[in-house]
Amino acid sequence: MKQPQAKTPKPWVSAIPLLTLTLLLALVIRSFGGDAIEGGSQIALLAASSIAAMIAMGCYGCKWSQLEESIINHIRSSTSAILILLLIGAIAGTWMLSGVVPTLIYYGLQVLHPSYFLVASCVICSVVSIMTGSSWTTIATIGVALMGVGNAMELPEGWVAGAIISGAYFGDKVSLLSDTTVLASSTVGVPIFTHIRYMLYTTVPSLVVALIAFGIAGLTLPHAADATTDLFSEQLASTFTISPWLLLVPVLTGILIARKLPALITLFAAVLFACVAMVVAQPDLVHEVAQGADEGATALFKGVLITCYGSTAIDTGNPELNELVSTGGMAGMLHTIWLILCAMVFGGVMTGSGMLRSLTEIFLRLVRRTVSAVASTVGAGIFFNLCSADQYISIILTGRLFKDLYEEQGLEPRLLSRSVEDAATVTSVLIPWNSCGMTQATVLGVATFTYLPYCIFNLVSPLMSILVASLGWHIQRKRG
């Protein structure tokens, strides 16, 4: 006998777990501040998941096996991101102790002036992200180095992180190598080159607005005097071996990226390159990290492994610089991974119970004209980022939800794929419990709410998408 299908919860009922999560996270952040990621946020996500599960099972006849399967699928989808996070933690440690990041900071202090540093950071990250197709890889490598330069110049960390993230996500959106770009275009069924060309109508104006904002900020924000940056340069040079040969590590990594190797292979190779450079260029520091191990190969081996997986602290003689060059390795990513797993549980329960589907029906009722279709798509992309806590899930759900509706309205598929990217791709990094927001906050060492107001490109993109739709610029309806 066929089992009766579970009833779909009403939208107002489906909103209860989401409102609960929002309230709990607000209390957690207020109570713990920057330490919210160390456990409080995870408990909030699990508590909201429990409430959603109890409502679905107790009131709507949903089976636990259905919820469990959905949770497993969500966690499975995050496996690659978790492995990448661990490797990013290893890169953070090895690139720092090998002298790669200190060398980039040293030369950056010589070349980049504080007045145009924010604009330069945004442009550099844009170029690197276009070439790599990955905002995560860009932020974890060149972004970390630029963050160090910005800290040395004593620029506000929110502005620096905002410029880095804005550039990285611009490149991620328009790169042929980007997985989110491929995912958005393929989900809707739009050729990727068509998708990228059409995105330029909203993406380039958004970047121009961001660059203007960063240019004005660079001219008005206070920064360290030249004497301070000179002191930082001297202390870096006295602590680390600074050499242009160390730049071979990022160059070799860039070559692997250009050859389109999988991200996991490229990042693992980047760790190996840095380990070799560490042993060759900074043997004294490796012995220092080994903390009393026997001299020779044993100490080098122990120091290299500790740098990859554990925390390192090098005394430069300057407390601020000490904090800058300290790293957490793979272990430093565990709180973020824990948070991602809990976020996937919440997204799995919301999806498996039908609550997410119930809430999305609200967006479908708002569609009347082109502007309302685009605005609803943008709203749904942001909403799914909030609920599912994952960028990829948000892109897929938004694209599938509106695909038939755009067809019925006679709207071009490329308009849908662009609107999905303008919302789901760029806003994920602005949400503290989203996998992107958690990752970038951890990698850059800046809380999500600290950098959020300064991610100009990410904030403007959804609004630009709606503005362009309201103007009807390069928007056509298909003829029946």
Q: Write the pLDDT tens digit of every residue in 330-367.
A: 888 787 788 778 878 888 888 888 887 787 777 667 66
Give the pLDDT of residue 228.
59
234: number of Cβ within 10 Å: 13
* Same domain (yes/no): 42, 167: no
The pLDDT of 278-291, averaged and rounded, is: 86
Q: Return the higher-pLDDT residue of 35 and 301.
A: 301
* Same domain (yes/no): 42, 89: no
Domain boundary among 257, 279, 301: 279
The pLDDT of 41-51, averaged and rounded, is: 88
Give the pLDDT of residue 131.
64
The pLDDT of 122-150, averaged and rounded, is: 79
Residue 108 has pLDDT above 80, yes or no: no
Q: Are 26 and 40 in contact (CB under 8 A)?
A: no
Give the pLDDT of residue 2.
46
Give the pLDDT of residue 226.
60
Q: Are 100 and 249 in contact (CB under 8 A)?
A: yes
Give the pLDDT of residue 53.
92
Q: What separation in angstroms does the CA of 253 have from each of 101, 445, 447?
A: 14, 23, 28
Q: Which of 193, 134, 121, 133 is nearest to 162 (CA)?
A: 121
* Same domain (yes/no): 159, 198: yes
Please measure the distance between the N-terminal and C-terminal CA atoms of the chain and give it in whole angstroms.
45
370: number of Cβ within 10 Å: 19
Q: Return the higher-pLDDT residue of 446 and 311.
A: 446
Q: Which residues make Cβ contacts (< 8 Å) with residue 337, sequence separation at least 6?
A: 82, 85, 86
Q: Which of 428, 154, 194 is nearest to 318 (CA)?
A: 154
Give the pLDDT of residue 477.
62
| In a domain? residue 123 | yes
Rg for the chain, CA atoms, rounded: 23
Angle at 336 between CA 334 and CA 338, to 5 degrees: 70
Give the pLDDT of residue 293.
59
* Same domain (yes/no): 259, 383: no
Domain boundary among 248, 263, 279: 279
* Same domain (yes/no): 30, 141: no
Give the pLDDT of residue 47.
92
Q: Return the higher-pLDDT residue of 297 and 321.
A: 297
Give the pLDDT of residue 190.
83
| In a domain? residue 301 | no
Residue 129 has pLDDT above 70, yes or no: yes
Place of tokens 């973020």: 336
Q: Return the higher-pLDDT residue of 395 and 339.
A: 395
The pLDDT of 111-133, averaged and rounded, is: 81
| In a domain? residue 422 | yes
Residue 128 has pLDDT above 90, yes or no: no
Q: What separation in angstroms does the CA of 321 have from each of 148, 153, 163, 231, 441?
A: 9, 11, 22, 10, 20
**181 band by pLDDT with thresholds 50, 70 and 90:** confident
Q: Are 223 and 93 in contact (CB under 8 A)?
A: no
Q: How far apart are CA 15 and CA 2, in angstroms?
A: 30
- Return the structure tokens found at 19: 């409102």
Q: How far apart are CA 9 and CA 156, in angstroms?
A: 45
Q: Return the higher-pLDDT residue of 182 and 173.
A: 173
* Same domain (yes/no): 234, 93: yes
Q: Are 339 and 37 in contact (CB under 8 A)?
A: yes
* Same domain (yes/no): 47, 84: no
* Same domain (yes/no): 85, 230: yes
* Same domain (yes/no): 23, 128: no
Domain boundary among 279, 312, 343: 279
Give the pLDDT of residue 133.
67
Residue 8 has pLDDT above 90, yes or no: no
| In a domain? residue 311 | no
Give the pLDDT of residue 87.
84
Residue 479 has pLDDT above 60, yes or no: no
Residue 294 has pLDDT above 80, yes or no: no
- In terms of average pLDDT, the best of 29-33, 78-82, 206-210, 410-414 is 206-210
| In a domain? residue 324 | no
Task: Look at the chain and report how many structural domains it folds into.
Answer: 2
299: number of Cβ within 10 Å: 19
Structural domain span for residue 343: 13-74+335-446+454-471
Least trusted range by pLDDT, from 36-45, 176-185, 422-431, 460-469: 176-185
**320 band by pLDDT with thresholds 50, 70 and 90:** low
* Same domain (yes/no): 69, 85: no
| In a domain? residue 308 | no
**206 band by pLDDT with thresholds 50, 70 and 90:** very high
Least trusted range by pLDDT, from 125-129, 176-180, 427-431: 176-180
In this predicted model, what pLDDT tens digit does every residue of 238-263 receive, in sequence order?
Answer: 888 888 898 898 888 878 877 777 77
| In a domain? residue 180 | yes
SS (H, E, C) the chain: CCCCCCCCCCHHHHHHHHHHHHHHHHHHHHHHHHHHHHCHHHHHHHHHHHHHHHHHHHHHCCCHHHHHHHHHHHHHHCHHHHHHHHHHHHHHHHHHHCCHHHHHHHHHHHHCCHHHHHHHHHHHHHHHHHHHCCHHHHHHHHHHHHHHHHHHCCCCHHHHHHHHHHHHHHHHHHCCCCHHHHHHHHHHCCCHHHHHHHHHHHHHHHHHHHHHHHHHHHHHCCCCCHHHHHHHHHHHHHHCCCCHHHHHHHHHHHHHHHCCCCHHHHHHHHHHHHHHHHHHHCHHHHHHHHCCCCCCHHHHHHHHHHHHHCCECCCCCCHHHHHHHCECCHHHHHHHHHHHHHHHHHHHHHHHCCHHHHHHHHHHHCCCCHHHHHHHHHHHHHHHHHHHCCHHHHHHHHHHHHHHHHHHHCECHHHHHHHHHHHHHHHHHHCCCCHHHHHHHHHHCCCHHHHHHHCHHHHHHHHHHHHHHHHCCCCCECCC
Q: How far apart are CA 353 and CA 338, in angstroms?
A: 23
> What are the backbone dihedrals phi and psi of residue 400, each rounded to the nearest 5 degrees, phi first?
-70, -35
| In a domain? residue 364 | yes
Q: How far apart are CA 463 and CA 417, in angstroms?
A: 16
The pLDDT of 275-293, averaged and rounded, is: 84
Q: Are 50 and 20 in contact (CB under 8 A)?
A: no
- Return the structure tokens found at 447: 């809380």
Residue 11 has pLDDT above 70, yes or no: yes
* Same domain (yes/no): 255, 369: no
Please give the share of the chain, as a percent, with pLDDT higher than 70.
90
- Return the structure tokens found at 205: 């104006």
* Same domain (yes/no): 256, 364: no
